[in-house]
Structure 1
Amino acid sequence: MEFASEADRAYANGAFIAGADQFVPRWRAAAAGFRAGMRGELGLVYGPGARQRLDLFLPDGPARGVLVFVHGGYWMDFDRADWSHLAAGAVGRGWACAVPSYTLAPEARIAQMTREVAAAVRAVAARVAGPVVVTGHSAGGHLAARMACEGGPKVARVVPVSPLADLRPLLATGMNATLRLDSAEAVAESPALLRPRAGVGCHVWVGGQERPAFLWQARVLAEDWACPWTVEAGRHHFDVIDGLADPESALMAACLDGL
């Protein structure tokens, strides 16, 4: 397997996961099936952009609070509709779950995506009473962590899953031709180089079989924020999020227990 650079190899996930090409159609089928049978509101507008929409899934009875899931895709791919099934864990616990889309690169820079996700979280908090918890996967884990930093919306907890916490290594990757990160933005948008606001809980989650770069990213964030982190044995970058669909999973406990 050849890569243009060591940086590209470090952040290539699918190339090192058996059957990687089967995951996206599986996610989309599961998401469509979940939407078909759930209470909720689809396509709620939280801003003027075409992708500034969110889906809100509701439990039976009053919600205990709301979990916001921010999807990944290296800030360049996917849509909220690909991930609806991951709301099952929160809804099964009596929580609402919101899944926003946001403007992707190259149309938007990462700093704009941070602002959009913050606007989505504020819109959700205005609709659902109770604590707000933000989780997200990979690039979505980065955006979830940013919600805990200065200037972010009011949240009780963030649970970044396999997050990109220090963006500086991405400057050397081929994907940066699309992301258009420069050194200043990489520093300003790196949660590991920032600090969480007082009173915001954080728990970092990562799969034990992930690329070394993602294990490093998760550890750096947990160490710099002095927060708990869990390395889930046997999980790789594509299945580490499966626990969000299971109300009884350890990942859901990390998101919602004690709130």
Structure 2
Amino acid sequence: MTGLIDWDAAFENGAHIPGGSEYPGRWQALAADYRATAHARFDLPYGPGGRERFDLFLPDGAPKGLAVFVHGGYWKAFDKSTWSHLAQGAVARGWAMALPSYTLAPEATLAQMTAQIARAVAAARAEVPGPVRLAGHSAGGHLVARMLCADQPDLAERAVSISGLHDLRPLLHTKMNDILCLTPDMAQAESPALQPQRPGTHLTVWVGGHERPEFLRQSALMREAWPGTRLVVDGDFHHFNVISAMADPASPLTDAILQDVP
């Protein structure tokens, strides 16, 4: 059956979004503008690797808690500095937000990235007392969902996977696997949809209504795999603009990240 599906096309986003190539530059400009005025601490280490650093954006006064946002890029692109502006919604609501970088493929395996994000969350928790909320986009959605799997340390109880990837087996049939270097065993072990959920945790999967069919499938799959998972299909948004609402303190997405109302 896999031979009947063009998996490269299934996971391709930019070519199906009008002006898709313009988004990275737009994100970087918005992020730079926010960093210039934000109350923040930059490049805090969580490990010895060159990319094992996180930025911590802080509200005025004592934070209500800690939100952590893990960026996407198919585990092979971007870093924390492209997404700083997405901290605005949480910070305006009185929360601190940490944005970690992590080592990208092919220098790191997905299992190594998962371990890095666990270390990043633990290091950020040490800086900010109170409840912890996780959010991630695309590949970052995969990584925050992994934090709620039973094989991971108990660092957070709630996460929002935005346009996340939860079943990695189809990636074995893509050209990008030349970079990711997934094997069937690795794809199985690193797929949240194929792993047990840690008891007491809650996942929200959030996906744009105009995303590629595979991303809609990947999101719906988690509701079936983990009972109690909340699925939100967000209107007319696509893979590149569905995350923009994080910058708005009043948006339903920001509320889902900080409060995760079932």
Scaled to the shorter chain, the TM-score interval is over 0.9
1:50-69 counterparts in 2 under 5 A?
50-69=50-69
Equivalent residue, structure 2, for 1:242: 244
Equivalent residue, structure 2, for 1:185: 186
Shift of 1:135: 0.5
Rounded to whole Å, the distance in 2 between the matches of 1:73 and 1:152 is 25
TM-score (norm 2): 0.95
Rounded to whole Å, the distance in 1 between the matches of 2:185 and 2:260 is 37
Rounded to whole Å, the distance in 1 between the matches of 2:192 and 2:43 is 29
Any stretches of 5+ residues in structure 1 without a counterpart? none
Shift of 1:139: 0.3
Runs ≥4 residues deviating over 4 A? none
Whether contact under 8 Å (1:118, 1:153) holds in the other structure is no
Rounded to whole Å, the distance in 2 between the matches of 1:238 and 1:6 is 21
1:61-100 counterparts in 2 under 5 A?
61-100=61-100
Could you say what secondary structure the match of 2:242 adopts?
coil
Rounded to whole Å, the distance in 2 between the matches of 1:170 and 1:127 is 36
Shift of 1:153: 3.9
* Range 180-189 or range 223-232, more displaced: 223-232
Shift of 1:192: 0.4
Any stretches of 5+ residues in structure 2 without a counterpart? none
Identity of aligned residues (%): 53
Tell me if 1:219 matches 2:220: yes
Whether contact under 8 Å (1:141, 1:160) holds in the other structure is yes
Shift of 1:162: 0.5
| Partner AA of 2:233 in structure 1 | V
* Range 151-160 or range 167-176, more displaced: 151-160
Shift of 1:258: 6.5
1:226-237 counterparts in 2 under 5 A?
226=227, 227-237=229-239
TM-score (norm 1): 0.97
Cα deviation digits, residues 20-43 of structure 1 (max 9, x gap)? 111000000000000111111000
Please tell me the root mean square deviation across aligned C-alpha atoms, in Å: 1.1
Equivalent residue, structure 2, for 1:31: 31
Rounded to whole Å, the distance in 2 between the matches of 1:32 and 1:184 is 40
Could you say what secondary structure the match of 1:54 adopts?
strand
Equivalent residue, structure 2, for 1:254: 256
Shift of 1:200: 1.4
Could you say what secondary structure the match of 1:61 adopts?
coil
Shift of 1:156: 2.6
Whether contact under 8 Å (1:100, 1:117) holds in the other structure is yes
Shift of 1:257: 2.1
| Partner AA of 2:26 in structure 1 | R
Equivalent residue, structure 2, for 1:136: 136
| Partner AA of 2:82 in structure 1 | D
Rounded to whole Å, the distance in 1 between the matches of 2:259 and 2:180 is 35
Rounded to whole Å, the distance in 2 between the matches of 1:156 and 1:58 is 21
Shift of 1:231: 0.1
Rounded to whole Å, the distance in 2 between the matches of 1:258 and 1:145 is 14
